[in-house]
């Protein structure tokens, strides 16, 4: 049985050796005062299991006592740690109860054990910023094995140093500023207009699924791999929808669980991508060029830094990221606007003014790059929704040297979990932090990338490559929506954190043309 170790293996073993709590088998038997030869089988089995359990508990507890300079905390139950409490649903926009209780008891830096991993948790903005900024110096990327099973062992999120920078530069050829302005902006507008027109025919639209399936995933899938998911009745989107539901689920891979469906979805996607890779390489010539072609070109270079597994995992990750983040963000925005008519009115006026200033056809919702960049209140709404939604609730790193923080030592090899919601809900930075208030951003400098107070897209060297693309999609969708349409909420809209944000009953609306 493999047990989670506190700090380094050598220190753990030394502590175990010196601990007065550890009993040898001989001493344990003598204390029981029985001769094992005369025990009946059931009694022997019971005592053996009790002995194993006792030693397991003692080892688990000794691991907590060995390093007095570690941050305070608890490892919880053997094997399970504090996992069950961490995954308990919360129906509030406030800091998750799991974090709030430990913040009150231990302070903003504490220890826990989740899904078999000992973790140092940071709710401290200074430490969280330091972790992200000292990438490849004191810290490096790390994610739990369950994450890596979903996203791929050769994914960019596991790449280090020059390889990570090379893959990132490759991704920016699709999501960089020039591509956003010249290519993706027109594509996003066409897709948003078509999606909204299709909603008029429906009595009930579930916002997250509807925006994700065609308007967001459809555009990205075409740009990445020239895949028309509408022609296959959304088969690829369904695979990624299963992956999303299982990523933050308890990693129990047995039939019927969310994690099992997630892994089944990944296997189907990877099989399709591998078949497509083989077919592309055998094609004599292609008229169009998509991101898959760029990846294949990199693979075929002499002494390429990419191998086939890296290429396939990269494509999987980019499709995965495009599926969920933006659609959840838009769903949250529509829910907040539905509940806040004042914000909706100001947003609508901004888009109407953009249209008037451009002298555009009243029936047109076409906008330019400059007009998009002028939408200040729209940007406030997007940032405020992302702050409250905490779409990426946690990020992980690992120490590559001993780190001193306050009076604590975080030993080399320790895993660190950063809770972005602690920064987003910090009352010292955001007044009434759990309230949707886009006007607060008029007095706050909006982050170009990440900052210690806003980590919706990560930060440091690992800032999300697609962050600007996601914000572009949200803004263009809102423009097309408020210029021509209105909506009525039908049902759902309850937000729950598990710890990631979900709408368990969806958010259903009816789209109507403006009078």
Beta-carbon contacts of residue 324 (< 8 Å; ≥ 6 apart):
212, 240, 244, 391
3-state helix, strand, coil in the chain (%, to 5): 55, 10, 35
| Nearest CA among 430, 327, 321, 326 for reference residue 95 | 430
The dihedral through the CA atoms of 313, 184, 335, 208 has a sign that is negative
Terminal CA-CA length for the chain: 67
Alpha helices in 340-449 (DSSP H): 341-357, 369-373, 376-389, 420-424
Q: What is the rounded distance in angstroms from the CA atom of residue 292 to the CA atom of residue 277?
A: 8
> Is residue 243 marked as binding?
no
Backbone angles phi, psi at 77, to 5 degrees: -80, 150
Backbone angles phi, psi at 134, to 5 degrees: -100, 30
Q: What is the rounded distance in angstroms from the CA atom of residue 490 to the CA atom of residue 367?
A: 30
What is the SS3 assignment for 442? helix
Residue 499: is the preceding peptide bond cis (ω within 30°)? yes
| Nearest CA among 206, 145, 449, 149 for reference residue 331 | 206
- Binding-site residue ranges for heme: 464
- Binding-site residue ranges: 464
């Amino acid at each position: 049985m493999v047990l989670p170790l506190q700090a380094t293996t050598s220190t753990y073993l030394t502590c175990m050796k010196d601990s007065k709590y550890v009993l040898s088998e001989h001493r344990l038997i003598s204390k029981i005062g029985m001769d094992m030869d005369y025990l009946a089988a059931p009694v022997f089995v019971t005592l053996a299991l009790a002995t194993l359990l006792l030693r397991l508990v003692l080892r688990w507890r000794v691991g907590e006592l060995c390093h007095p300079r570690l941050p305070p905390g608890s490892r919880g139950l053997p094997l399970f740690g504090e996992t069950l409490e961490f995954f308990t649903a919360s129906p509030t926009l406030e800091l998750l109860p799991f974090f709030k209780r430990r913040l009150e008891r231990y302070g903003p830096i504490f220890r826990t054990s989740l899904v078999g991993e000992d973790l140092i948790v940071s709710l401290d903005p200074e430490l969280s910023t330091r972790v992200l900024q000292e990438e490849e110096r004191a810290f490096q990327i790390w994610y739990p094995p369950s994450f890596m099973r979903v996203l791929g062992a050769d994914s960019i999120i596991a790449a280090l140093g020059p390889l990570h920078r090379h893959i990132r530069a490759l991704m920016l050829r699709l999501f960089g500023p020039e591509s956003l302005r010249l290519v993706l902006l027109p594509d996003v507008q066409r897709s948003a207009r078509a999606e909204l027109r299709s909603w008029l025919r429906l009595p009930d639209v579930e916002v997250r699924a509807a925006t994700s399936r065609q308007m967001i995933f459809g555009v990205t899938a075409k740009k990445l791999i020239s895949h028309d998911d509408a022609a296959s009745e959304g088969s690829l989107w369904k695979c990624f929808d299963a992956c999303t539901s299982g990523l933050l689920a308890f990693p129990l891979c047995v039939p019927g669980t969310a994690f099992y469906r997630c892994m089944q979805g990944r296997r189907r996607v990877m099989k399709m991508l591998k078949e497509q890779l083989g077919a592309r390489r055998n094609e004599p010539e292609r008229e169009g060029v998509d991101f898959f072609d760029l990846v294949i070109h990199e693979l075929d270079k002499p002494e390429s830094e990419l191998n086939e597994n890296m290429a396939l995992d990269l494509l999987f990750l980019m499709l995965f990221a495009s599926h969920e983040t933006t659609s959840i963000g838009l769903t949250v925005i529509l829910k907040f606007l539905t509940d806040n008519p004042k914000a909706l009115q100001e947003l609508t006026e901004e888009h109407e003014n953009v249209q008037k200033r451009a002298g555009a056809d009243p029936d047109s919702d076409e906008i330019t790059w400059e007009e998009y960049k002028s939408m200040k209140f729209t940007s406030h709404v997007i940032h405020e929704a992302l702050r409250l939604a905490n779409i990426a609730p946690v990020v992980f790193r690992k120490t590559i040297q001993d780190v001193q923080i306050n009076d604590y030592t975080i030993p080399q090899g320790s895993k660190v979990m950063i809770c972005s919601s602690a920064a987003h809900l910090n009352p010292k930075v955001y007044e009434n932090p759990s309230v949707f208030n886009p006007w607060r951003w008029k007095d706050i400098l909006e982050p170009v990338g990440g900052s210690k107070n806003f980590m919706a897209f990560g930060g440091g060297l690992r800032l999300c490559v697609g962050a600007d693309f996601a914000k572009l999609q949200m803004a263009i969708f809102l423009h097309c929506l408020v210029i021509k349409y209105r909506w009525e909420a039908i049902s759902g809209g309850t937000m729950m954190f598990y710890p990631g944000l979900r709408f368990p009953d969806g958010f259903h609306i009816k789209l109507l043309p403006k009078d």
